[in-house]
Amino acid sequence: MLWFTAEGFFWFPRTLLGIERHLYTFYDQPELMHSINSDLADWILLLIDQVCAICTPAYWFEEAGIEGILPLERQAGVDIAALRVDHPDKAGALSRELGQRPRRVDNRGR
């Protein structure tokens, strides 16, 4: 199994600039933010091409041996009902173990 990650469009500039300068840059230098994130996108695509040249990724749950999906966030457009229809053999894991949680109530202990 191979796992790799790449920093996202918020975290990478924050690492480069520090949090305060990073947040001010959104307003003061939006062209710099665009340039940083455009370069990051190019690098991520190159990274994906290099990884795919070494190994063939399995994107389907069954082929990859994935038992569930986390997180399931409605605000991110994840539709648990559609996942259950598309993968009926995983319906138990989808509802029982992971569930669809509204992130807006996490801070209230629910």
Contact 94, 80 (CB under 8 A): yes
C-alpha to C-alpha distances, 87 to 66, 77, 80, 95, nearest whole angstrom: 11, 17, 10, 12
25's tokens: 């840059």
What is the structure's pLDDT at 61?
58
C-alpha to C-alpha distances, 76 to 17, 22, 42, 47, 107, nearest whole angstrom: 27, 24, 24, 25, 18
C-alpha to C-alpha distance for 25 and 33, rounded to whole angstroms = 7
From first to last of its 110 residues, the chain has per-residue pLDDT tens of: 677 788 889 999 999 999 999 999 999 999 999 999 999 999 999 988 888 888 766 655 566 666 655 666 677 677 777 877 877 766 555 554 444 555 555 555 55
Residue ranges of domains in the chain = 11-54, 61-108
What is the structure's pLDDT at 97?
45
